């Protein structure tokens, strides 16, 4: 090969690299090991973690432990999906494109919205992009964001808007729910909220969206996709943009990533959406096929005027979401949602019957709620940890106004024995 | 041959004087370069534009091109049919595919500085 | 048997593919748990299929893809190298995959140690000591680095430095990220040699310049051999040098960006570090920076003290978060597994083989194709259709014919500065036999363009569909399947004030 190229050695191929910056020694990494040793080392490291798969877990806060159909792993793991890239050549990518088209359809059906994209990085970045869409669609520069929105989503929004000439104004909570603003400022692009919110409360989405519309602003709503098996969809509530964290749909928590974000909106905002969008069309013979479409929104064509800089998204995780939803179907999703809510409500009744534990909020919740711990948050957490229980999350980290509250989440994957152990452990805290 | 009853900008728009206003459109060259058109965004009537200011966008599947006002003035009419009938722009960019009408605020709105059909044609040959 | 049905067309009312766990408590009606106004009115029209239908559907779909697992995939700038399956095994270990991000640090020591080791490895490879693993992909890494640089400049009171110079051969994400950071992109010309035109750079460099975003090697596959001079120019003007690490594959282990004057850079782990592309993601876009930028890196940071690992969530100068939680840990694990097998002594062979393969393919292909920058290249090179131009055959036709011959096409029509470009990156993991086969097919296509151009114009014919009508996809958009009993709420009223013009 060197002879064909016409050079004497591999070093000649790097002649353009200035002599004095060429490495003389190997970089300071440990020496390489064969595959079995690498896997053995990683198994040993994994053993030093305490995963939540097979022990009582009541952690939530945006990521949840749900049962995942075995088919999700097997089908998503097909190397034809894993090792392809963005479907720039549609004839060679009908698998990925077809799956995205179906994914978009499922997200539209779940959210009640007219159009969806083929995924975002995660829920937090999808939320920030949803607010940015509202600013470009309205030409207004203020984002009203509920304090009930996930703290990471609010943080991502602050970072994304820090230098874009956009004001972020937080809307306070009362009783854990977003206060209906008395008036919407004339420069407000959107009212952005989360349902159920970070504290677990079910928000009054429809009146909040209506209030936003009354002031010429959009309603941007972040939703838990499992909750949509039971709760009114953003579309039904009049939202203009619906986003969310896709992890509950068949993705392990992965310590926070990768998961996927979903992004849906009213049809009229199609040209302002970020990310890849797949459309159906026909080939030369009139046969149905799928392509990436509305690509002129994107960075590879519009460069600095693109709707977003997003290029790579989280396609493979979105594929998991699609396979998960197709496995469950509408009845399965409703059953999962119902089991989450039923377990959470049964657990709440038992926990709040114990002296020293009181609900932080009085309003309706879905599968997550905050518990005020008169016996002391740290004591309770120590007891839970000693019992091998994962959760709850100390709310004070994000909401200093609630110093004595722990957030607990319940899903269909919690067994009766797990709930019993939680209740008993709470009861015994000294 | 391009019609010589009008003048052209280096950014491939044209302006044709008509009863104290200018009818504005894009050149055949711009349309050919873009290929099959998919989208046209035109401004609202009443907007003021400076010479060379962007007033809209025209797109094909994989390209987007900004549209720049060849003359300064107020937009007094847009070809409302064009966005939904892009074949007009594609097939007849100098006629039924016109885009908007501008009334100059002062003087000729910069019309005199535009290129003649022959001059415009010469700029294309260097492409 | 119609193998092209969508999952919605396979759906039959009442079927399902999965039974969730038996409920822990007797089910209650939604109406007894929530106010009725909170309840969903129309159920989502999701597919209703048996598990076997589901498996067949997705297996059939997978077979309609071209992937690295079945084909040569020389997609320029995307580094479609082999993705070792052992990395998938590593990331799927329940001890990693089933960690919840709100667990206490003490319960994630093994993963945090992996992440810290990866940070240190990336620092050692880039020569830039401070690393964050937070960004979800390369574009988010670019934005992160721009915000970090901007915060650093603001702290120094240099608030008038807002211009970011970008060579015209750069990826579209560069100017898009600059716009999102509230800064001003300013293009810099490439000279006739395909490299940054230093005269143009000097002319555009000024007191308002914050950074130059350089891709090195660039998208033509050429190493900027005057990189030391470029870095010096930037630094003397009080500006910084940012490197888009999309092409780091070509130089890993050979040289370190920190040594040639780069101040900040991002890496695409789904390129250089072999993590799979997944049909468009997930990726990971860590950034590595000089020490003085470290206080501005996003949160959380991984800390280590005496062998104990923790996450830092509070740092006064940090730019904050760009996404939820720490980062794409599952992707980071794969990258760690990859580097663990190469080790410090092996990484250089990645770049050496990548560059050897690209040059070999270049000299094979130039027998029939115009290669505009025909000299020693790095990991990729660009060819064009110039020698067959009179046949009217376009680069797109060449790409489609390659599909019929069993290859994924190269990147086409990029970089924008080369008309009708075919950007070819073979990567280091391909054998000489594969390169020879691809070159032979390219030369055959050059002949076919003259002798039987219809073969190219009609291609592809071996694929599940032939060329698709992309104009129709925009002008008559159909972006979801029209389900019976759809839950989509179609509205034609406009909710908001009219958008800005």
Q: How many CB atoms lie within 10 A of CB B76?
A: 14
Does the distance separating the beta carbons of C88 and A77 come in below 8 Å? yes
Does the distance separating the beta carbons of C18 and A328 come in below 8 Å? yes
Residue of C nearest to A99 (CA): C61
**CA nearest C138: which of C243, C220, C246, C218?**
C246
Q: Per-residue pLDDT for A244 more than 70?
A: yes
Q: Per-residue pLDDT for B127 more than 90?
A: no
Q: What is the pLDDT of residues C231-263, one digit of tens each?
A: 999 999 999 999 999 999 999 999 999 999 999
The residues facing A177 across adjacent strands are: A174
**CA nearest A367: which of A205, A222, A109, A195?**
A195
Helices (H), C34-191: 51-63, 85-92, 94-97, 109-126, 138-155, 173-180
Q: Per-residue pLDDT for C292 more than 70?
A: yes
Q: Which residue has the higher pLDDT, B61 or C152?
A: C152
| Chain A residue numbers touching C414 (CB-CB < 8 A) | 300
Q: What is the pLDDT of residues A153-163, one digit of tens each?
A: 999 999 999 99
Instruction: Find the largest Cα–Cα distance for chain B.
Output: 39
Check if the beta carbon of residue C264 is closer than 8 Å to that of residue C244.
Answer: no
- The token duo for A220 is 């941007």
Does the distance separating the beta carbons of B44 and C501 come in below 8 Å? yes
- The DSSP line for B25-74 is EE-HHHHHHH-SEEEEE-PPTT-EE-TT-EEEEEEESS-EEEEE-SS-EE
pLDDT average, residue stretch A63-83:
98
Q: Is B103 on the interface with C (CB under 8 A)?
A: no
Does the distance separating the beta carbons of A32 and C24 come in below 8 Å? no
Q: pLDDT above 70 covers what percent of chain A?
A: 100
| Chain B residue numbers touching C471 (CB-CB < 8 A) | 36, 38, 60-61
**CA nearest A261: which of A243, A278, A276?**
A243
Query: Worst-scoring range by mean pLDDT, A327-336, C25-34, C445-454?
Result: C25-34
pLDDT average, residue stretch C205-210:
97
**CA nearest C336: which of C126, C139, C119, C132?**
C119
* A317 φψ region: left (φ > 0), alpha (ψ -120 to 50), beta (else): alpha
Q: How many CB atoms lie within 10 A of CB A417?
A: 10
Q: Is A186 on the interface with B (CB under 8 A)?
A: no
pLDDT at C494: 66
pLDDT average, residue stretch B60-80:
93
| Chain C residue numbers touching A136 (CB-CB < 8 A) | 499
> Please, which pLDDT band fits residue C449 given cuts at 50, 70 and 90?
very high
Instruction: Give the span between the Cα atoms of A323 and A73, in whole angstroms.
Output: 9
Angle at A122 between CA C106 and CA A82, to 5 degrees: 95
Q: Is A302 on the interface with B (CB under 8 A)?
A: yes
pLDDT at C501: 33
Q: Per-residue pLDDT for A390 more than 60?
A: yes
Question: With 0-12 CB in 10 A as exposed, 13-18 as middle and 19+ as buried, what is C15?
Answer: middle
ipTM greater than 0.95, yes or no?
Answer: yes
| Chain A residue numbers touching B44 (CB-CB < 8 A) | none
pLDDT at C23: 87
Q: Per-residue pLDDT for A216 more than 70?
A: yes
Q: Which residue has the tokens 């798969």?
A: A53
pLDDT at C495: 63
pLDDT average, residue stretch C84-92:
97
pLDDT average, residue stretch C408-427:
94
**CA nearest A143: which of A121, A166, A159?**
A166
| Chain C residue numbers touching B43 (CB-CB < 8 A) | 501
* DSSP code at position A321: H
Check if the beta carbon of residue A253 is closer than 8 Å to that of residue A237.
Answer: no
Q: What is the pLDDT of residues A118-164, one digit of tens each?
A: 999 999 999 999 999 999 999 999 999 999 999 999 999 999 999 98
Within a 13 Å sphere around the CA of C49, how many CA atoms are in the beta-carbon half?
A: 24
Instruction: Give the span between the Cα atoms of C108 and C97, in whole angstroms.
Output: 11
Residues C153-159: contacts with CB within 8 Å, 24+ apart? C153/C210, C155/C296, C155/C317, C158/C238
Residue of C nearest to B83 (CA): C475
Q: What is the pLDDT of residues A160-186, one digit of tens each?
A: 999 989 999 999 999 999 999 989 999
Sequence-distant (6+) residues with CB within 8 A of C174 are: C142, C166, C185, C213, C215, C244
Task: Residue window 33-72, chain B: list those with CB within 8 Å of chain C.
Answer: 36, 38-39, 43-44, 47, 59-62
Check if the beta carbon of residue A420 is closer than 8 Å to that of residue A377.
Answer: no
Check if the beta carbon of residue A86 is closer than 8 Å to that of residue C280.
Answer: yes
Please give the model's pTM, rounded to 2 decimal places. Answer: 0.96
Q: What is the pLDDT of residues A309-358, one digit of tens each?
A: 888 889 999 999 999 999 999 999 999 999 999 999 999 999 999 999 99
Instruction: Give the span between the Cα atoms of C181 and C187, in whole angstroms.
Output: 16
Torsion angle (degrees, nearest 10) of CA C242, C246, C247, C253: 80
pLDDT average, residue stretch C380-394:
95
From the list A114, A235, A364, which residue is nearest C38 (CB)? A364
Q: pLDDT above 70 covers what percent of chain B?
A: 98
Q: Per-residue pLDDT for A307 more than 90?
A: no
- The token duo for A205 is 């989405």
> Please, which pLDDT band fits residue C496 given cuts at 50, 70 and 90?
low
Instruction: Give the span between the Cα atoms of C355 and C253, in whole angstroms.
Output: 13
Q: Is B74 on the interface with C (CB under 8 A)?
A: no
Q: Per-residue pLDDT for C500 more than 50?
A: no
| Chain C residue numbers touching B61 (CB-CB < 8 A) | 470-471, 473-474
Helix/strand/coil for A213: helix
Q: What is the pLDDT of residues C36-55, one digit of tens each?
A: 999 999 999 999 999 999 99
From the list C470, C474, C501, which residue is nearest B47 (CB)? C501
pLDDT at C499: 46
Cα of first residue to Cα of last residue in chain C, in angstroms, is 51
């Amino acid at each position: 090969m060197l002879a064909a190229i016409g050079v004497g050695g591999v070093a000649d191929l790097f002649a353009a690299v200035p002599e004095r910056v060429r490495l003389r020694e190997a970089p300071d990494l440990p020496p390489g090991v064969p595959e079995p040793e690498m896997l053995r080392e990683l198994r040993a490291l994994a053993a030093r973690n305490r995963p939540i798969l097979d022990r009582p877990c009541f952690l939530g806060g945006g990521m949840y432990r749900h049962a995942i159909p075995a088919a999700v792993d097997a089908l998503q793991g097909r190397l034809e999906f894993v090792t392809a890239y963005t479907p720039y050549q549609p004839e060679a990518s009908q698998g990925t494109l077809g799956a995205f088209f179906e994914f978009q359809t499922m997200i539209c059906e779940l959210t009640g919205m007219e159009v969806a994209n083929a995924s975002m990085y995660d829920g937090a970045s999808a939320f920030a992009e949803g607010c940015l869409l509202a600013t470009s669609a309205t030409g207004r520069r203020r984002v009203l964001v509920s304090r009930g929105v996930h703290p990471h989503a609010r943080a991502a929004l602050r970072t994304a808007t820090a230098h874009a000439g956009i004001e972020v104004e937080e809307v306070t909570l009362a009783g854990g729910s977003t206060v209906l603003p008395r008036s919407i400022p004339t420069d407000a692009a959107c009212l952005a909220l989360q349902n159920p919110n970070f504290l677990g409360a079910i928000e009054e989405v429809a009146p909040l969206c209506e209030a936003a519309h009354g002031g010429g602003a959009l309603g941007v709503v972040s939703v838990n996709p499992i909750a949509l098996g039971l709760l009114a969809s953003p579309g039904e509530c009049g939202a203009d943009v619906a986003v969310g964290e896709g992890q509950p749909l068949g993705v392990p928590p992965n310590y926070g990533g990768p998961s996927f974000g979903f992004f849906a909106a009213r049809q009229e905002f199609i040209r302002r959406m970020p990310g890849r969008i797949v459309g159906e069309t026909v080939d030369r013979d009139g046969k149905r096929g799928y392509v990436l479409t509305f690509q002129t929104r994107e960075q590879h064509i519009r460069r600095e005027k693109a709707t977003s800089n997003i290029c790579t998204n989280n396609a493979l995780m979105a594929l998991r979401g699609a396979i998960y939803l197709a496995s469950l179907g509408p009845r399965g999703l409703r059953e999962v949602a119902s089991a989450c809510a039923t377990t959470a409500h049964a657990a709440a009744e038992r926990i709040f019957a114990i002296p020293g534990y009181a609900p932080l909020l009085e309003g309706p919740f879905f599968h997550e709620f905050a518990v005020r711990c008169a016996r002391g948050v740290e004591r309770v957490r120590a007891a839970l940890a000693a019992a091998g229980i994962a959760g709850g999350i100390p709310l004070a980290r994000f909401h200093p106004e609630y110093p004595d509250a722990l957030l607990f989440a319940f899903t269909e994957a919690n067994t009766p024995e797990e709930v019993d152990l939680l209740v008993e452990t709470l009861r015994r805290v000294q | 041959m391009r019609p010589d009853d009008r003048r052209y900008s280096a950014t491939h728009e044209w302006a044709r004087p008509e009863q104290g206003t200018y009818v504005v459109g894009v050149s055949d060259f711009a349309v050919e370069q873009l290929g099959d058109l998919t989208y046209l965004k035109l401004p609202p009537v009443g907007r003021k534009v400076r010479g060379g200011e962007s007033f809209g966008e025209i797109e094909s599947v994989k390209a987007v091109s900004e549209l720049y006002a060849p003359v300064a003035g107020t937009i007094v009419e847009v070809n409302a049919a064009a966005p939904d009938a892009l074949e007009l722009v594609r097939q007849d960019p100098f006629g039924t595919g016109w885009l908007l009408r501008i009334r100059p605020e002062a003087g000729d709105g910069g019309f005199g500085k535009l290129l003649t059909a022959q001059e415009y044609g010469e700029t294309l040959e260097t492409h | 048997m119609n193998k092209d049905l969508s999952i919605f067309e396979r759906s039959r009312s009442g079927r399902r593919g999965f039974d969730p766990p038996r409920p822990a408590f007797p089910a209650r009606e939604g109406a007894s748990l929530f106010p009725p106004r909170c309840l969903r009115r129309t159920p989502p029209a999701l597919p209703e299929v048996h598990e076997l239908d589901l498996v067949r559907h997705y297996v059939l779909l997978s077979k309609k893809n071209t992937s690295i697992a079945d084909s040569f995939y020389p997609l320029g700038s995307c580094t479609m190298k082999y993705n070792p399956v052992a990395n998938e095994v590593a990331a799927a270990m329940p001890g990693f995959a089933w960690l919840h991000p709100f667990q206490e640090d003490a319960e994630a020591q093994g993963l945090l140690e992996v992440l810290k080791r990866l940070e240190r490895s990336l620092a050692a490879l880039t020569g830039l000591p401070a690393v964050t693993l937070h960004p979800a992909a390369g574009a988010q890494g670019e934005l992160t680095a721009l915000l970090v640089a901007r915060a650093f400049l603001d702290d120094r009171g240099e608030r008038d430095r807002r211009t970011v110079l970008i060579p015209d051969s750069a990826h579209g994400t560069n100017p898009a990220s600059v716009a999102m950071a509230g800064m001003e992109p300013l293009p810099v010309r490439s000279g006739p040699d395909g490299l940054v035109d230093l005269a143009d750079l000097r002319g555009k460099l000024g007191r308002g310049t914050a950074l130059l975003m350089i891709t090195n090697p660039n998208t033509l596959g050429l190493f900027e051999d005057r990189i030391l001079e470029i870095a010096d120019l930037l630094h003397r003007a009080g500006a910084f040098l940012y490197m888009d690490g999309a092409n780091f594959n070509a130089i890993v282990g050979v040289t370190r960006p920190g040594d040639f004057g780069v101040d900040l850079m991002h890496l695409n782990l789904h390129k250089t570090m072999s993590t799979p592309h997944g049909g468009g993601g997930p990726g990971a876009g860590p950034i590595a920076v000089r020490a003085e930028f470290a206080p501005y890196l996003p949160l959380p940071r991984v800390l280590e003290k005496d062998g104990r690992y923790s996450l830092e969530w509070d740092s006064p100068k940090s730019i904050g978060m760009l996404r939820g939680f720490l980062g794409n840990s599952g992707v980071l694990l794969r990258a760690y597994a990859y580097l663990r097998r190469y080790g410090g002594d092996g990484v250089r062979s990645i770049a050496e083989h990548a560059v050897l393969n690209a040059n070999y393919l270049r000299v094979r292909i130039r027998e029939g194709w115009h290669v505009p920058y025909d000299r020693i290249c790095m990991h990729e090179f660009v060819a064009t259709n110039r020698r067959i131009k009179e046949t009217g055959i376009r680069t797109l036709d060449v790409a489609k014919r390659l599909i019929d011959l069993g290859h994924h096409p190269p990147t086409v029509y990029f970089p924008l500065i080369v008309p009708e470009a075919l950007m070819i990156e073979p990567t280091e993991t391909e054998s000489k036999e594969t390169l020879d086969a691809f070159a032979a097919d390219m030369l055959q296509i050059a002949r076919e363009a003259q002798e039987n151009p219809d073969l190219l114009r009609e291609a592809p014919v071996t694929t599940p569909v032939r060329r698709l009508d992309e104009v129709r996809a925009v002008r008559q958009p159909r972006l979801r399947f029209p389900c019976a009993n759809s839950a989509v709420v179609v509205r034609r009223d406009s909710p908001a004030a009219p958008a800005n013009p």
